[in-house]
Amino acid sequence: MSVKILVPLAPGFEEIEAVAIIDVLRRAELEVVTASLTPGAVEGAHEIRVEPDAWLDELELDSFDAIVLPGGMPGTRALMADERVLGLVKELALAGKVTAAVCAAPLVLAAAGVITGREVTSHPAVREELGAADGEVVGDPRVIESGAVITSQGPGTSIEFALALVARFASPEVAERLRAAMLVHAPPLR
């Protein structure tokens, strides 16, 4: 089964998170499409410009099987305010497909109403705000899979997060092979 994954990039996204996620997923030979909210390159929170594969309006959003949201500020707020992103998150969640977010981006999942009653994690700076959305917000483990909702905590957990996604979309064996090849100091994946 092939899976098509969208990684939207908003101005002020966290560069480490976005690039680590995209890189690891593509190493697993998964189809990843990066998309900007507006045409052209997107500047991250630390002034690194990234040229996305497409502009969101150029894509058939119903062709995606998953969405993975990098955090960062103000990128997360821009994703939260984008009706196309929120609509896709809701649509995927209703279909039981993966909605995933790291750092502050679980706030986007909360804004779309998909964390209610689920255990989630995030960057410590947004946990209180995230908790107001009726999710059970925890600080451990660093990556949490709650059904089809997958969350993680920040730049330092991005590779673990991406490997959990590889385990879900490809296989635990592919994720373990990548973890070993990249010398990732993390517990072996189940």
Contacts of 79 (CB under 8 A, 6+ apart): 8, 10, 37, 69, 85, 105, 108
* 103 carries an active-site annotation: yes
| Active-site residue, from 103, 126, 159, 174 | 103
Do 109 and 119 contact (CB within 8 A), yes or no? no
Is 166:174 a contact under the CB 8 Å cutoff?
Answer: yes
Q: Check if the beta carbon of residue 106 is closer than 8 Å to that of residue 121.
A: yes
Picking from 89, 92, 121, the residue whose alpha carbon sits closest to that of residue 104 is 121
Distances (CA, A) of 156 to 12, 41, 140, 150, 177: 18, 25, 14, 16, 20
The catalytic residue positions are: 103
